Amino acid sequence: MGKTNKKLGIQDQSFFERIIEVIRQRKIGDKLLNKCMIGIIKIFERIFRNKAITYHIRPLENSNFHIKPSKKSNSTTAIVMQGPVDNDKDFTLETLKIYRKLYRDSLIILSTWDNENKEILNQIENIGVKIIQSRKPDNTSDGPLSTWQNIDLQIISTKAGLKFALKNNAEYCLKTRTDQRFYRSDLIDYFFKFQETFPLNAKTNQNQRLISSSFATPKYRVYGLTDMMMFGEVNDLFNYWNVENYSTGIYKLIDQHSQDIPPIISGTLVGAEVYFMSSYLQKLDEDLDWTLEHYWEMLGEYFLIMDSTSIDTYWNKYNKSSEYKFGRDYSLKAHRLLDFMDWIQLYQEKDTQWERLRGQERWARSNGQLVRSVI
């Protein structure tokens, strides 16, 4: 049962459930849905008079997605979607249908597991998507690594997809997830233009910048580049993701640090994203000093961060009704995530003075529990 809201005079959970049920039964179109949403927002703005509330509606099904690409898709570019099939409202299947519509000439690869539903996989294969199935490793760990097993799964499925892209002569690749969708059309051409506009300055064995998203790229977490989405030359991408499994490779980072798993190095919890980025920087012969200054320098040197809003990102997980989840909090002196305007400062200025606004995100162990704090 929901909590009673005295101002509304209703129980919030049942109230919203009733609204959703009425809308579903009437099968209303977007115009009427917009009116319903505006009405609901007006109610909340009258209650919370000091808040501005917005919303956004996206179609979940390919049949309701009518945006068309303005340019022919690039046949040298592959899309690798990795992870378990998201069957919530056929999310993965519908996403792949949209990508097939937008990128007709691109190789689209689903890299998933050998225990997935065959009927669903047949539907995916029938729309022209190549399917790579890997066997999940046996989860024999009952220690501290057991809760971090998904990192290995991400490495395995991503590498399998990228290997298939390389084998089929792809030159560029977009790596994404089965529970995430980008609604922006001409997305790949968009990325090409940014690579041309911002070429690499460093002399390195990396060919071009790796483009990633502001979505879940923290500004104040050292080496915290998001692992959800990445675009670049396929050889660069494979070099980034060709990392030893976390369950064994993590021990090579903690020789002089705590033996607890996951390790904490200079206040930074070395989970998935941090493990990937720090391992990659070592391949580029960069000396890790585990400071924000070095993290920001590396982002400006080798990467390019796009706004998740400009590529129209939707993540079918965790607080998915929030358009700016994790990213916008006006009660703080600085937003938690790093966006394109921030990245431009890194690219041009180097000295951003961001440390004046907020300190490094730091982790510690207290009574056996991980605790995050910000200085």
Please confirm whether the linkage preceding 263 is cis (ω < 30° from 0): no
List, for residues 332-355, the tens digit of each pLDDT value.
788 889 999 999 999 987 788 898
Does 27 lie in the same domain as 123?
A: no
In a domain, 365, yes or no: yes
- pLDDT (average), residues 113-119: 96
Maximum CA extent, the chain: 65
Q: How far apart are CA 43 and CA 304, in angstroms?
A: 41
- pLDDT (average), residues 316-333: 78
Q: What is the DSSP string of 60-99?
A: SSGGG-----SSPPPTTEEEEEESS---GGGHHHHHHHHH
Whole-model pTM? 0.88
Q: How far apart are CA 152 and CA 139, in angstroms?
A: 10
In a domain, 54, yes or no: no
In a domain, 230, yes or no: yes
Q: CB count, 10 Å around CB of 129? A: 21
Does 205 lie in the same domain as 290?
A: yes
As given in the structure block, the two tokens for residue 367 are 């009574």
Residue 90 — left, alpha, or beta (φ > 0 → left; ψ -120 to 50 → alpha)?
left
Is residue 321 within 8 A of residue 286, CB to CB? The reply is no
Does 231 lie in the same domain as 295?
A: yes
What domain range includes position 173?
A: 69-374
In a domain, 102, yes or no: yes
pLDDT at 144 over 60: no
H or E stretch covering 299? helix 292-302
In a domain, 58, yes or no: no
In a domain, 106, yes or no: yes
Is residue 219 within 8 A of residue 208, CB to CB? The reply is no
Domain count, the chain: 2
List, for residues 291-307, the tens digit of each pLDDT value.
999 999 999 999 999 99
| Beta bridge pairs of residue 150 | none
Write down the pLDDT at residue 217.
95
Q: What is the 3-state secondary structure (H, E, C) of 132-160?
A: EEECCCCCCCCCCCHHHHHHHHHHHHHHH
In a domain, 56, yes or no: no
CATH of the domain at 214: 3.90.550
pLDDT at 14 over 90: no
List, for residues 166-195, the tens digit of each pLDDT value.
999 999 999 999 999 999 999 999 999 999
Does 85 lie in the same domain as 183?
A: yes
Write down the pLDDT at residue 9.
41
Does 365 lie in the same domain as 282?
A: yes
Least confident of 87-96, 139-148, 221-230: 139-148
Least confident of 127-141, 157-171, 176-190: 127-141
Supply angle C-alpha 76, 78, 81, rounded to 5.
Answer: 175
* % of the chain residues with pLDDT over 70: 88
In a domain, 265, yes or no: yes
Does 26 lie in the same domain as 158?
A: no
Does 129 lie in the same domain as 8?
A: no
Does 358 lie in the same domain as 314?
A: yes
